[in-house]
Amino acid sequence: MSSVLRIALQKSGRLSEDSYQLFKECGIRFDYGTGKLKSVSSNFPAEFLFLRDDDIPGYVEDGVADLGIVGENVAVETARNVETIHRLGFSKCRLSLAIPRGTDWSGLHDLAGKNIATSYPRLLGNYLRDKGVSAEIHEISGSVEIAPGIGLAEAICDIVSSGSTLLSNGLKEVETIFRSEAILVSRPALAENKQQLVDKLLFRIKSVQAAKNNKYIVLNAPNASLETITALLPGMKSPTVTPLATEGWSSVHSVLNENDFWENIEAIRAAGAEGILVIPIEKMIY
């Protein structure tokens, strides 16, 4: 059995650039963007397939690919038998209902008995059913935004990220029905040799993500406040504290999570820290 991992990526679209970047940061090299549909990595046992995003869950289910990067929206809509093995945090977008800008909106019940154009009939159908609204769903595979303008539907349900597509088609977003981001999906039962490669890849992805979510911080602290300051900077195990040449002062080195960043920085300054340096981390290995 071949022990080359086959990974399906979107050929071009909202997921492509960030997907390529992720593998680059994981140190996995391959060529892309040359119009080729397949590329073998020069330094990792992986082969990349460049496909339409909508087709990726099906190829993973069928075993044509072992792994794939897709939007959660596509994974849920296609309802293929694939396993979500990691959330990637990029290509965030939402699936929303939108109507012509000049139309009044008082709530979802406004859509009762109306026509809604979408490429996401399953997600929309489930949502309407949950909310007890019955409307006509018109499935179209692309350019959904023009449907109201040509009299095909009173509303649409489509992916929104910047909102510029809605804007340029005279539509306004009225309700979000699903939030999505890129996910890594896998065929449910991979052979042992492939699973080992997946684990190796996941280890790298997690290190890259952890590095992005954390900053290296160096500061000078008066010894009297060391206890307060180090408590705010637990770091990976504990902060490094070394004496400064100036009597009564220490240098503190640690790692700080992006989520608590500003709040902690304020508390650290209030405790008397000075000369605070914040440095990006390239990789973070636990």
Binding site for ligand PRP (CB under 6 A): 13-14, 53, 142, 144, 158-165
Q: Minimal CA–CA distance to 146: which of 131, 158, 135?
A: 158
CA distances from 213 to 15, 24, 116, 261, 285 (A): 20, 18, 39, 10, 13
Residues 6+ apart with CB under 8 A from 153: 114, 115, 116, 117, 138, 147
Least distance to ligand PRP, CB of residue 211, Å: 28
Stretch of residues binding Zn ion (CB under 5 A), selected from 30-38, 52-60, 124-132, 140-148: 52-60
Mark residues 244-273: x for contact with Zn ion by CB under 5 A, - for none. ------------------------------
193 backbone dihedrals φ, ψ, rounded to 5°: -65, -35
Pick 14 or 114: Cβ nearer ligand PRP: 14
Least distance to ligand PRP, CB of residue 122, Å: 15
Pick 142 or 151: Cβ nearer ligand PRP: 142
Residues 6+ apart with CB under 8 A from 74: 53, 54, 56, 57
Pick 11 or 194: Cβ nearer ligand PRP: 11
Least distance to Zn ion, CB of residue 12, Å: 10
For tokens 């290509």, what's the residue? 91
Does 77 interact with Zn ion (rule: CB under 5 A)?
no
Kindly tell me which residue out of 17, 54, 139, 175 binds Zn ion, with binding defined by CB under 5 A: 54
Pick 22 or 159: Cβ nearer ligand PRP: 159
Q: Please, which residues bridge with residue 253 across strands?
A: 218, 240
Using DSSP's 3-state secondary structure scheme, residue 206 falls into helix
Evaluate whether 72 touches 180 at the Cβ level (below 8 Å).
yes
Evaluate whether 16 touches 71 at the Cβ level (below 8 Å).
no
Least distance to ligand PRP, CB of residue 106, Å: 24
Pick 132 or 142: Cβ nearer ligand PRP: 142
Contacts 24+ apart (CB under 8 A), 34-37: 37/11
Evaluate whether 8 touches 30 at the Cβ level (below 8 Å).
no
162 binds, among Zn ion, ligand PRP, none (CB under 5 to 8 A by kind): ligand PRP
161 binds, among ligand PRP, Zn ion, none (CB under 5 to 8 A by kind): ligand PRP
Evaluate whether 60 touches 187 at the Cβ level (below 8 Å).
yes
Q: Closest-CB residue for ligand PRP? A: 165
Pick 53 or 66: Cβ nearer Zn ion: 53
Least distance to Zn ion, CB of residue 213, Å: 28
Pick 13 or 113: Cβ nearer ligand PRP: 13
Q: Which helix (H) or strand (E) holds 106?
A: none
Does 53 interact with Zn ion (rule: CB under 5 A)?
yes
Q: Give contact residues for Zn ion (rule: CB under 5 A).
A: 53-54
